[in-house]
């Protein structure tokens, strides 16, 4: 069995809210298509302090990175 590898999966990020710093791991990714038609729709985020996953759209994730509200570790 071949397991596809995506460098985003397992990457670690930090964010800050109300003076508290939170660590996040990208736990999954929702996508469609292949080759030129490949498109990421959303990511599943796992906060270190929570049990449940949070799904965030790819557009929102990109916006947070551009605004430096999500910082790659």
Distance of alpha carbon 27 from alpha carbon 13, whole angstroms: 11
Distance of alpha carbon 23 from alpha carbon 15, whole angstroms: 7
The yes-or-no verdict on residue 3 having pLDDT over 60 is no
Distance of alpha carbon 35 from alpha carbon 51, whole angstroms: 34
* Cβ neighbours around 43 below 10 Å, total: 23
Higher-confidence residue of 61 and 1: namely 61
In the numeric block, the tokens 């298509």 are attached to 33
15-63 pLDDT per residue, tens: 998 999 999 999 999 999 988 898 999 999 999 988 899 999 999 999 9
């Amino acid at each position: 069995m071949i397991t596809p590898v995506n460098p985003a999966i397992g990457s670690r990020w930090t964010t800050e809210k109300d003076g508290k710093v939170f660590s996040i791991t990208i736990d999954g990714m929702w996508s469609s298509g292949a080759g030129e038609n490949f498109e990421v729709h959303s990511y599943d985020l796992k906060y270190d302090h929570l049990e449940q996953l949070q799904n965030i759209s790819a557009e929102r994730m990109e916006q947070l990175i551009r605004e430096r509200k999500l910082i790659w570790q």
